[in-house]
Amino acid sequence: MIQDIANKLDLANHHSNATPEDVKKLCADVLTYGFNAAFVNPTYVALAKEKLGGKAKVGTAISFPLGQDTVEMKVYATQQSIKLGADELDIVPNNALLLFDVTTYSQELKTIVYAARSVNADIVVKFILETGYLTDSQIKTGASAIVDAGADFVKICSGMGRRGASLNDVKLVRESIGDRAKIKVAGGIDTLEEAQGFLAAGADRIGTSSAVKIIEEMHQATSQSF
């Protein structure tokens, strides 16, 4: 049961003061606890790839956290990150476009997916909806556009926006996309109870810097039940 949750967690360090030693510790924890991936900033993708040695995935974030780089910048960063060894990409689209130009929003998504798959057809692509700035209708529209563009996941929140993911966000996204793609959530998910709640609500993956704490909580709860 512990492994069933561990392999749905992405252990992340996207802090601006992350050091190589921090990344090495992150990777060691991913291997120790069996997490799905180590998520690092692009500058550390190659280091994480080396330290994980193919035993877990390496993820990185593109245009994080604002999403307001140009499409050309995002395409370059996407392709470069794949070449450095990233297995999964959490990409921030220009969510402001959902407020006034959905057509351009959709085209950005499609351009980035095409660019990513032209380098690695198997790359896992997630686009981040910063739901704290969007209405329910805009959340659904954005989620549908993400899936229509060919992404593998709709990710709810960067963890650095107005708020983190909510259970209602998961409900709205699932209503919009059905089973056409998976859902990842992030933003202040720090406890076992919160993680279990999101998974029960329909999330497939959780991004958190507290993955070790969550599994240690589960170990403690399991030992106390005997």
User: pLDDT for 97-136, tens place per residue?
Assistant: 999 999 999 999 999 999 999 999 999 999 999 999 999 9
CB atoms closer than 10 angstroms to residue 104: 12
How far is residue 204's CA from residue 201's CA, in Å, rounded to a whole number? Answer: 9
Query: 101 catalytic, yes or no?
Result: no
User: pLDDT for 152-189, tens place per residue?
Assistant: 999 999 999 999 999 999 999 999 999 999 999 999 99
Query: 87 catalytic, yes or no?
Result: no
Full domain range(s) for residue 38: 2-224
Q: Tell me, what CATH number does 202's domain have?
A: 3.20.20.70
Q: Residues 90, 126, 169, 182: which is the catalytic one?
A: 90
**What's the pLDDT at 222?**
81
Could you give the number of structural domains in the chain? 1
Query: 55 catalytic, yes or no?
Result: no
Q: Residues 8, 57, 126, 155: which is the catalytic one?
A: 155
Q: What percent of the chain has pLDDT over 90?
A: 95
User: pLDDT for 14-67, tens place per residue?
Assistant: 999 999 999 999 999 999 999 999 999 999 999 999 999 999 999 999 999 999
Q: Which residue has the tokens 């409900």?
A: 171
